Amino acid sequence: MTENLPDTEDISRETIIMFLNSKGDDRINLFRHAAEVKKKHVGNKVWLRGLIELSNVCAKDCFYCGIRKSNTKVKRYNIRDSEVLEAARFACENNYGSVVLQSGELQHDKFTRRIEKLVKQIKGLSEDKLGITLSCGEQSEDTYKRWYDAGAHRYLLRIETSARELYEKIHPSDQIHIFDNRIVCLERLKKCGYQTGTGVMIGLPFQNVTHLADDLIFMKNLDIDMCGMGPYIEHSDTPLYRYKNQLLPIHERFDLSIKMVAVLRIMMPYINIASTTALQAIEKTGREKAIQAGANILMPNITPGKYRDSYSLYENKPCTGENAGDCLHCLDIRMKLAGADIAYGEWGDSLHYGKRSKAAQADLQQKI
């Protein structure tokens, strides 16, 4: 099925659906081809992003999320700035190359100033050795620009689904959960100069394989630089939990997620694709399987251990009892078994972003 598939041309919607439905030898061939595309275009390196979960305080009330505003059962926290900087220092001393600052979505000046200050401090303490990715939700263009100017250069804002009708089913109908706002924010990020990432949940209630094919086409059309996507894992303290008996079996969601990684790698050979932690929540070697199928980014959790259980976007989150040092040693072994090498001390910026930026500059020169 995949032997003669060009790796740099558009793939039709029908072909994407066929890939996502593949079984047996066709499924194996899909993964093999995606691995070849990855090796050819981005190599077998895996880049680390040390994940620091700043806070689980969130203004949003998304129906799928364990830290949604209305969940009174979750223990709320804000990591002290000194703890954030200590985690960043650990990442620098252990040659992670980059960190990710992630939090619940908040939109106020105190939060904006805090992120801006932390970004500057991390750049200072690492002597600019650490790349910085942010994942702090929807913000104004001015806020995105302030954070970019402070030193952040990558931003992940997951769309969760590119289908408007499905988006509206998994979010409240109000002024802070608007599909079009999410799209606008993704465009703002690109305008500000970020390496821009998005992603989707796979196996949501009401979702079908056509939705997922359209998600991949959406990401290609948006011309993203990086992607973080993974299986939907239900949380008992959320409204969507009532549909748990209508979901695909958990290992089918896992398999679809690996296929999504593989197809996106073929469609967008030069982007960065994360092997997400949710995969490991389902299968112990889940992250390795995603790496073998086309992913090239790992985000080991370096949040102080006492907070990890409280950042519960979904249930059965893995590695909450490990310390950051144990996790790094484990990953090194796991990646070698997966046939990949961790690129210590490298930012691992998106090659797609570099190509996109050069193309934009060339286009501008022609217009001048």
Distance CA 295, CA 262 (A): 8
Tell me the average pLDDT across 73-79.
95
**pLDDT higher than 70, residue 363:** no
The residue-averaged pLDDT of 244-250 equals 96
pLDDT in tens, 183-232: 999 999 999 999 999 999 999 999 999 999 999 999 999 999 999 999 99
pLDDT category of residue 256 using cuts at 50, 70 and 90: very high
Spatial distance between the Cα atoms of 56 and 77, rounded to a whole number of angstroms: 6
Mean pLDDT of 71-94: 96
- pLDDT band with cut points at 50, 70 and 90 for residue 364: very low
pLDDT digits (tens, 9 = 90+) for 17-45: 999 999 999 999 999 999 999 999 999 99
Vertex 296 angle, CA 96 and 327, to 5° = 45
Residue 361 has pLDDT above 70, yes or no: no
- Tell me: pLDDT of 2 over 50: no
Per-residue pLDDT band at 9 (split at 50, 70, 90) = low
**Mean pLDDT over all residues of the chain?**
92
- The pLDDT value given to residue 356: 84
Residue 54: partners with Cβ closer than 8 Å, 6 or more residues away = 78, 79, 84, 101, 102, 103, 118
Domains in the chain, start-ordered, CATH in brackets? Answer: 13-367 (3.20.20.70)
Q: Token pair 């904006």 is at which residue?
A: 112
- The average pLDDT across 93-114 equals 97
Read off the pLDDT of each residue in 243-271 and give the average, rounded to a whole number.
Answer: 97
Q: What is the DSSP letter of 206?
A: T
Q: What is the pTM of this model?
A: 0.94
Sheet holding 45-48, edge to edge: 50-55, 98-103, 131-135, 154-156, 195-198, 226-227, 272-275, 297-298, 45-48, 341-342
310: pLDDT confidence band, cut at 50, 70 and 90?
Answer: confident
Give residue 357's pLDDT: 78
**Cβ(155)–Cβ(195) below 8 Å:** yes
Q: Is 260's pLDDT higher than 90?
A: yes
